[in-house]
């Protein structure tokens, strides 16, 4: 604590010195000046600039910028003084080589340094505020990373133990099957939250292998959707899934696009209407874009939830029930894509529009032997040219 106070005092003292030294010189030289123009340009303006630097030590000392950024502000002010002072020195030297020396060359040089210190002070204050904001963001990200990892680790471990114990209790306790099912459902929900938190950590860049900016990838939407439908068909045998009628369709998107497709399609299956759920997934072109359309016959996503996602933040009165839709929105944002929701009496439609990749080096289309057999699967390039138009291949409802 004492070291911090000493360092802060030293920084403020240096900042005051940047203004006091030229200020004292200008006050002394003022007594020798008689020309009003020389007094204004050679003394009054530099005195005002130097006095401003000295006076700035008080608000700087009381601001949140002190003590961590005091030396940064002082450095910029000193650099401004040295820069303009050096420019004035070169100008005076050049004039002396061309003829008689100018009157009061030292006054000109010190005056320029005083003006430069004021400009440097202004720039230093701006730079210090920006650096403080950046440091706060980095500190918050580091804290969120720790919180994310600790919570995910603890939740997953604890819920795994609880899930195992629930199964044992259900086998040993008569009539406890219903209660065990409720507990197991909530355990699965918490495990899902943990998994969403892991994906969100990768989206915001805190756990990504290449950092927050290197997230662009080339994704085959048809392959992604078919993989998700195949998995969900096993997990939800009562649901009926209609896949896209296309062979391949490559887009620029975040690597976690498969998690987004899984979230949207599974959400449609779980929250579908009474009876056997039916989910229709189609992929259609719209110029240089490609839209993935997921439709179901359920009640739809509540309008309050959609408004919260579009707003970008939650409040105590308006919030979502989990992290799934936030994961979808943030991955869509990082993919430079667009997410839209449509709800009608016939069900819910979620549409995600990506940038289409026409030619991509190093990304070959899937071999015919790897594709799911279909009677008539037109390639994505032959699909309709409008994402909102009815699907020519009949993959929509």
Residue in the block written with tokens 């406890």: 176
Counted residue by residue, the chain has a size of: 397
Give residue 76's pLDDT band: very low, low, confident or very high (50, 70, 90). Answer: very high
CB 187 within 8 A of CB 159: yes
| Angle at CA of residue 346, ends 342 and 349, nearest 5° | 30
CB 145 within 8 A of CB 206: yes
> Could you tell me the pTM of the whole model?
0.54
d(CA 152, CA 139): 20
pLDDT digits (tens, 9 = 90+) for 274-315: 667 888 888 888 778 888 899 888 777 888 888 888 887 665
The token pair at 313 is: 């933040």
**CA–centroid distance for 381 within its chain:** 33
pLDDT digits (tens, 9 = 90+) for 33-65: 666 766 666 678 889 999 999 999 999 988 888
d(CA 312, CA 290): 24
Residue in the block written with tokens 């403020």: 12
Considering just the CA atoms, what is the radius of gyration of the chain in Å? 33
């Amino acid at each position: 604590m004492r070291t911090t106070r000493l360092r802060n005092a030293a920084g403020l003292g240096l900042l005051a010195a940047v203004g006091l030294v030229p200020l004292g010189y200008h006050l002394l030289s003022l007594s020798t000046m008689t020309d009003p123009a020389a007094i204004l340009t050679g003394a009054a303006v530099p005195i005002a600039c130097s006095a401003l630097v000295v006076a700035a030590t008080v608000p700087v000392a009381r601001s949140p910028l002190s003590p961590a950024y005091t030396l940064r502000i002082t450095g910029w002010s000193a650099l401004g003084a040295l820069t303009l002072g050096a420019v004035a020195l070169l100008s005076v030297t050049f004039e002396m080589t061309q003829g008689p020396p100018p009157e009061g060359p030292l006054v000109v040089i010190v005056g320029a340094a005083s003006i430069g210190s004021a400009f440097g002070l202004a720039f230093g204050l701006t730079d210090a505020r920006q650096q403080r904001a950046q440091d706060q963001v980095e500190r918050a990200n580091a804290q969120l990373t720790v919180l994310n990892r600790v919570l995910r680790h603890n939740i997953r471990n604890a819920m795994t133990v609880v899930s195992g114990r629930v199964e044992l209790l259900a086998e040993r306790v008569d009539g406890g099957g219903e209660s065990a099912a409720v507990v197991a459902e909530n355990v699965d929900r918490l495990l899902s939250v943990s998994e969403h938190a892991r994906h969100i950590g990768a989206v915001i860049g805190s756990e990504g292998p290449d950092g927050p900016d290197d997230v662009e990838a080339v994704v085959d939407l048809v392959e992604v959707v078919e993989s998700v439908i195949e998995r969900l068909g096993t997990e939800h045998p009562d649901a009926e899934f209609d896949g896209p009628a296309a062979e391949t369709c490559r887009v620029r998107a975040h690597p976690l696009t498969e998690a987004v497709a899984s979230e949207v399609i599974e959400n449609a299956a779980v929250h579908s209407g009474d009876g056997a759920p039916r989910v229709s997934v189609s992929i259609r072109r719209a110029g240089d874009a490609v839209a993935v359309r997921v439709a179901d016959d359920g009640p739809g996503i509540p309008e309050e939830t959609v408004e919260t996602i579009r707003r970008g933040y939650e409040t105590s009165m308006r919030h979502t029930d989990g992290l799934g839709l936030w994961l979808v929105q943030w991955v869509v944002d990082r993919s430079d894509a667009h997410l839209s929701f449509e709800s009608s009496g016939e069900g819910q439609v979620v549409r995600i529009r990506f940038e289409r990749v026409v030619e991509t080096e190093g990304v070959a289309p899937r071999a015919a032997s790897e594709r799911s057999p279909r009677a008539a699967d037109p390639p994505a390039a032959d699909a309709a040219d409008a994402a909102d138009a009815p699907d020519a291949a009949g993959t929509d409802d």
